[in-house]
Structure 1
Amino acid sequence: MSEKHPGPLVVEGKLADAERLKLDSNFLRGTIAEDLNDGLTGGFNGDNFLLIRFHGMYQQDDRDIRAERAEQKLEPRHAMMLRCRLPGGVMSPQQWLAIEEFAGEETLYGSVRLTNRQTFQFHGILKKDLKSAHQLLHKVGLDALATANDVNRNVLCTSNPVESRLHEQAYAWAKKISEHLLPRTRAYAEIWLDQEKVATTDEEPILGATYLPRKFKTTVVVPPQNDVDLHANDMNFVAIAENGELVGFNLLVGGGLSIDHGNKKTYARTASEFGFIPLEHTLAVAEAVVTTQRDWGNRTDRKNAKTKYTLERVGVDVFKAEVERRAGITFAPIRPYEFTGRGDRIGWVKGIDDKWHLTLFIENGRILDYPGRPLKTGLREIARIHKGDFRLTANQNLIVAGVPESDKAAIEKLARDHGLMNSVTPQRENAMACVSFPTCPLAMAEAERFLPGFVDQVDGIMAKHGMSDEHIVLRVTGCPNGCGRALLAEVGLIGKAPGRYNLYIGGNRTGTRIPRMYRENITDAEIVSIMDTLVGQWAEQRESDEGFGDFAVRTGIVRPVLDPARDFWE
């Protein structure tokens, strides 16, 4: 191309081993089927350890008992985490009943975990039970295809329990995008559903024979709620409505939060605005973005392989022009849009269709029967009588959606009787953590198990300074891979080692600004002390309705991250 750009369109050099693995996999089959019959180990061998991720699973072990088992000369207790594909987070009560029963009977932990990817995942499935898990999903119209590794993952969609017509239209496009970008290989159906191999040659017209250079995430966003945190994602379709009807999307490309501790070639980045497209071009544009990243993404260094790095290397204008060329369109100027928040509306909300929607706060998204709070039983009882749908949110909560007035009292009673409508503080509502220990193999520090007690301490600080009615968007992740979206928080903690975190400050409430590292490798006690000081300053010096992150930037506690590729680490 004659057009000037900052760097090469394709990175030359020795390919990462993941590229060899994908090419050798026979379109994601590998020897997974044979491995399933290997009773000598509870895990998967060789390439299959990574290949199963394309089928929606991660091999994990219980790290709480890893040392004990090693002393006993036993291999780690391998079990799989399986993540469902659930575009927009919408499912029926009948589907919920099926997956909740499976979790109770066939997993080591008995829980269903709602994730901030707007889906659910099982933890602790033994290898011998994997086929039954996939076949259960298939039986109720679900699957786990392409929820991990180098593909387009579960497509998020703003939950929007108020404007039902607009949500219905946006959700329909989330499903269409998800289906359009799925792998075409029959490997999933052959291995997990025992479907016979079709005597044709596999082709992947969109993803390619070696799939994408790295994971790829997509959202459909309905302003003014940014509950999906669009700037954490590679490709984002911001819904533009006229008179309550969806007419098209603003496209934003190149967001992403994962970093590598100390590696200054990695950084968080917000997505870049490309322009507006009418609805009829949506799938063509989605395909063009994915195929451009497929062809131009860095396949030599996986830590620099995501779309955000491709945009920085070749230039936003060059990438955008290539998308226009491949899709056969020209972007119109961005249409006006504004975000006012990203939290869920906890409690009852009435939609414009006169149906009610009950958003239940689920701390850390963990559905289990706790002493005095039998959450799993409560949702089971609600699912048995609910005539609408369930919507999992990108904040790890659950919406009982589409409740007629006649059913409202009965559902509320069930929710209250089972601890699903306990009063929580604004701060707790706006805090979130990834899973981390004991199951995540990447975890460096606690997150899910750490968060409740830490929020207790932050609540105490807020009360001390007369700020109990306020909140700080607070996120904790056990490692720097970004699952808990700490790098879009007003206060983000990223695990560095057991009991130690890097503290980031300065994001905003709407999720459009990246925070900056404020202190490195500090203990939770040190973080609490810092929070006490800073919240006290915020309480005394804030301007009208000023959020904590905006206050921190305005008063110079931290400098804003303006150009992440160059100043994220400064």
Structure 2
Amino acid sequence: MSKRYEGPLIVDAPLSDAERMKRESNFLRGTIADDLKDGLTGGFRGDNFMLIRFHGMYQQDDRDIRREREEEKLEPRHAMMIRCRLPGGIISPQHWLKIDEYASAKTLYGSIRLTNRQTFQFHGILKGDLKSVHQMLHEMGLDSIATANDVNRNVMCTSNPIESELHAEAYALAARISEHLLPKTRAYAEIWLDKEKVATTDEEPILGPTYLPRKFKTTVAIPPLNDVDLHANDMNFVAIAENGHLVGFNLLLGGGLAYTHGDTSTFPSLALEVGYLPAEHAIKVAEAVVTTQRDWGDRTNRRQARSKYTLNRVGVDRFRAEVERRAGITFEPIRPYTFTERGDRFGWVKGIDDKWHLTLFIESGRLIDHPGLPIKTGVAEIAKVHKGDFRLTANQNLIVAGVPEEEKATIERIARDYGLMRDVTPLRLNAMSCVSFPTCPLAMAEAERYLPQFIDDVDALMAKHGVSDEYIVTRITGCPNNCGRAVLAEVGLVGKAPGRYNLHIGGNRVGNRIPRLYRENVQTPEILAELDSLIGRWATERQPREGFGDFVVRAGIVVPVQDAAIDFHADENVSNG
């Protein structure tokens, strides 16, 4: 992005219907309370279908049985997905046990899903049980406020279990940003916690009466580990340390991966460097960024409403100057920083505090007991004895953090007994997917349910070509909303239709290059055939320590995406299935 994109600060056109909905919602109350009393449907009607998202819920149905229910003249089996607000992904073992118990007793699927936004979510909560889950969270000091829709979402922070002092400072900022940018309306407390309405006028001094133009995502990252995939997020604070202590942040803005198939005005975008700020200014800068996006973001076309499109339209220089004006500071030049990796560090790692941290691999973040692999029960058993905390990672894994030497053997025994420390290939450890079918209403192709088989097939190709000890950052997402962050992978599959995907290749291991569309709308056997050839070339032609994504770019197999606003949809290297 550069000055050549500069356009009007405010888009002058009729507002989208979402703006009407927010304006008429009475600060997010709508008629949700009335809908909760309606026993004629398992879902929410009208605007309430969207308004509940501000409260951290999505209405879904089981798409595997949708047609069967239609034939029986029944409405879809509506149930809600609810997502907890958990800044930095830290939760106590005591709270985890209550979450585990609720998932088993009250959800249709009996599972807990660790998300790549460093929190957990329940799938399959019936409308009549919604108050109980909100009240359970509230009793633990948790909530689901602002984990969906046009607000600042769950704030992520590098898990970084080694540098515990620096992590504590960074985590504190993530928690403060989350609290500072929360909606101030009491709608959540009134509807879900049965709090009495306070006879005052609601105000939203930061988000405004119609909230943000679109969703907004924030991270705090600690180099050299880019485990939060900062380039996928709207606002990113990259920690700069001196002598092991936080002194300030480099600010990067405008990341986001969603786009729309066939709409060349939409594109993924990497976050851009804006400037350095001392740590004491972080909160007021965060507010200034959010209010600038609030005022300048496109409220006429939701496909163009994310901050990446605002920066593309007005230019980074104008956006930076406005943030400086609102925050009352002047950014300093970006300070040196380097990211060298972005995956999780599996197994035991000792921190500078002399405590141990165990990172457990959870495939696609899905905690559920399978025959011979009771991993959900295993995590609960660890929670019964662990005295530290749990950290959910942005890669859908779980860290048992702060284990003293004398407890290490006990934790490891439980983890091994329940299949939480089994042999897993490097490829599988670096793979990720979104939920997709059967619960996501936007899904076009399988993701979570297909990932295990796909990795098995690619692992066989890795073995065939003698590179089983290597990995390729591999991701599958069921649609171009890119919840699985496939367009920051070395190999990314983006769902197009059942059994069909767009194949993207050429991202890199540190996560700062968007992969090129290589094959469009192809079936999975053809994808595997392509990867067989490409992995074979990589195995024999690569340079020392050269990752797959870097190889396919250097070898000229794909042209790198330089500026996604211009060339993400370009047809270089692309063929149709």
1:298-317 correspondence to structure 2 within 5 Å: 298-317=298-317
Quote the Cα distance in structure 2 between the aligned partners of 1:533 and 1:567: 25
Quote the Cα distance in structure 2 between the aligned partners of 1:373 and 1:152: 36
Q: Give the aligned residue type for 1:315.
A: G
Quote the Cα distance in structure 2 between the aligned partners of 1:45 and 1:162: 48
User: Is 1:80 the equivalent of 2:100?
Assistant: no
Quote the Cα distance in structure 2 between the aligned partners of 1:190 and 1:148: 19
1:547-566 correspondence to structure 2 within 5 Å: 547-566=547-566
Report the number of matched residues: 568
User: Is 1:239 the equivalent of 2:236?
Assistant: no
CA offsets, 1:360-401, max 9 Å, x none?
000010001111111111111110110000000000000000
User: Is 1:381 the equivalent of 2:381?
Assistant: yes
Deviation at 1:108, TM superposition (A): 0.2
Quote the Cα distance in structure 2 between the aligned partners of 1:106 and 1:471: 38
1:94-133 correspondence to structure 2 within 5 Å: 94-133=94-133
Quote the Cα distance in structure 1 between the aligned partners of 2:491 and 2:270: 17
CA offsets, 1:229-265, max 9 Å, x none?
0000000000000000001100000000000001000
Partner of 1:471: 471
CA offsets, 1:494-542, max 9 Å, x none?
0000000000011000000001100000011000000000000001110
1:485-500 correspondence to structure 2 within 5 Å: 485-500=485-500
Say if 1:5 and 1:318, in contact at 8 Å, map to a contact too.
no
Q: Give the aligned residue type for 1:522.
A: V
Runs of at least 5 residues in structure 2 that lack an aligned partner in the other structure: 571-577
Partner of 1:521: 521
Partner of 2:414: 414
User: Closer, same or farther in 2 for the Cα pair 1:201/1:523, shift >3 Å?
Assistant: same
1:365-404 correspondence to structure 2 within 5 Å: 365-404=365-404
TM-score, structure 1 normalization = 0.99
Quote the Cα distance in structure 2 between the aligned partners of 1:144 and 1:4: 40
Q: Give the aligned residue type for 1:12.
A: D
Quote the Cα distance in structure 2 between the aligned partners of 1:85 and 1:490: 30
Quote the Cα distance in structure 1 between the aligned partners of 2:331 and 2:458: 45
CA offsets, 1:425-450, max 9 Å, x none?
00000000000000000000000000
Deviation at 1:564, TM superposition (A): 1.1
What secondary structure does 2:124 align onto? strand
Say if 2:324 and 2:330, in contact at 8 Å, map to a contact too.
yes
Quote the Cα distance in structure 2 between the aligned partners of 1:9 and 1:92: 45
Say if 2:151 and 2:211, in contact at 8 Å, map to a contact too.
yes
Runs of at least 5 residues in structure 1 that lack an aligned partner in the other structure: none
Deviation at 1:563, TM superposition (A): 1.0
Quote the Cα distance in structure 2 between the aligned partners of 1:156 and 1:183: 18
Q: Give the aligned residue type for 1:319.
A: F
1:348-367 correspondence to structure 2 within 5 Å: 348-367=348-367
User: Is 1:510 the equivalent of 2:510?
Assistant: yes
1:10-49 correspondence to structure 2 within 5 Å: 10-49=10-49
Quote the Cα distance in structure 1 between the aligned partners of 2:132 and 2:183: 22
What secondary structure does 1:424 align onto? coil
Quote the Cα distance in structure 2 between the aligned partners of 1:194 and 1:335: 49
User: Is 1:424 the equivalent of 2:424?
Assistant: yes
Quote the Cα distance in structure 1 between the aligned partners of 2:376 and 2:64: 24
Say if 2:276 and 2:333, in contact at 8 Å, map to a contact too.
yes
What secondary structure does 1:286 align onto? helix
Q: Give the aligned residue type for 2:68.
A: E
Deviation at 1:118, TM superposition (A): 0.3
What secondary structure does 1:507 align onto? coil
Say if 2:255 and 2:271, in contact at 8 Å, map to a contact too.
yes
Deviation at 1:128, TM superposition (A): 0.0
Partner of 1:324: 324
Say if 2:442 and 2:479, in contact at 8 Å, map to a contact too.
yes
Partner of 1:539: 539
What secondary structure does 1:246 align onto? strand
Deviation at 1:5, TM superposition (A): 7.2
Say if 2:221 and 2:230, in contact at 8 Å, map to a contact too.
yes
Partner of 2:283: 283
CA offsets, 1:249-283, max 9 Å, x none?
00000000000001000001101101110011101
Say if 2:5 and 2:312, in contact at 8 Å, map to a contact too.
no
Deviation at 1:172, TM superposition (A): 0.4
Quote the Cα distance in structure 2 between the aligned partners of 1:248 and 1:371: 49
Quote the Cα distance in structure 1 between the aligned partners of 2:365 and 2:353: 28
Quote the Cα distance in structure 2 between the aligned partners of 1:162 and 1:562: 34
Q: Give the aligned residue type for 1:63.
A: R
Quote the Cα distance in structure 2 between the aligned partners of 1:549 and 1:60: 36
User: Is 1:458 the equivalent of 2:494?
Assistant: no
User: Is 1:266 the equivalent of 2:259?
Assistant: no
What secondary structure does 1:70 align onto? helix
Taking only aligned residues, the RMSD between alpha carbons, in angstroms, comes to 0.8
Partner of 1:441: 441
Quote the Cα distance in structure 2 between the aligned partners of 1:479 and 1:390: 31
Quote the Cα distance in structure 1 between the aligned partners of 2:226 and 2:4: 34
Say if 2:488 and 2:507, in contact at 8 Å, map to a contact too.
yes
Partner of 2:212: 212
Partner of 2:63: 63
- The percent of aligned pairs where both chains have the same amino acid is 74
Runs of 4+ in 1 over 2 A off after TM superposition: none
Quote the Cα distance in structure 1 between the aligned partners of 2:27 and 2:248: 35
TM-score, structure 2 normalization = 0.98
Q: Give the aligned residue type for 2:33.
A: A
Quote the Cα distance in structure 2 between the aligned partners of 1:398 and 1:502: 30
CA offsets, 1:161-198, max 9 Å, x none?
10100111100000000000000000001100111111
Deviation at 1:141, TM superposition (A): 1.0
Quote the Cα distance in structure 2 between the aligned partners of 1:162 and 1:187: 40
Quote the Cα distance in structure 2 between the aligned partners of 1:196 and 1:516: 53
Q: Give the aligned residue type for 1:189.
A: A
Partner of 1:155: 155
Partner of 1:174: 174
What secondary structure does 1:531 align onto? helix
Quote the Cα distance in structure 1 between the aligned partners of 2:373 and 2:346: 18
Quote the Cα distance in structure 2 between the aligned partners of 1:397 and 1:567: 34
What secondary structure does 1:427 align onto? helix
Quote the Cα distance in structure 2 between the aligned partners of 1:557 and 1:77: 46
Deviation at 1:4, TM superposition (A): 9.8
Quote the Cα distance in structure 1 between the aligned partners of 2:568 and 2:444: 22
CA offsets, 1:82-117, max 9 Å, x none?
000000000000110011100000000000000000
Partner of 1:229: 229
Say if 1:478 and 1:495, in contact at 8 Å, map to a contact too.
yes
Deviation at 1:482, TM superposition (A): 1.3
Deviation at 1:153, TM superposition (A): 0.1
Q: Give the aligned residue type for 2:543.
A: E
What secondary structure does 2:519 align onto? strand
Quote the Cα distance in structure 2 between the aligned partners of 1:482 and 1:286: 25
Quote the Cα distance in structure 2 between the aligned partners of 1:250 and 1:28: 34
Quote the Cα distance in structure 1 between the aligned partners of 2:89 and 2:479: 25
Say if 1:111 and 1:123, in contact at 8 Å, map to a contact too.
yes
Q: Give the aligned residue type for 1:174.
A: A
Partner of 1:568: 568
CA offsets, 1:116-150, max 9 Å, x none?
00000000000000000000000011100000000
Quote the Cα distance in structure 2 between the aligned partners of 1:337 and 1:275: 12
Quote the Cα distance in structure 2 between the aligned partners of 1:191 and 1:502: 42
What secondary structure does 1:562 align onto? coil
Quote the Cα distance in structure 2 between the aligned partners of 1:141 and 1:237: 26
User: Closer, same or farther in 2 for the Cα pair 1:525/1:290, shift >3 Å?
Assistant: same
Partner of 1:189: 189
Partner of 2:573: none
Partner of 2:480: 480
Q: Give the aligned residue type for 1:36.
A: L
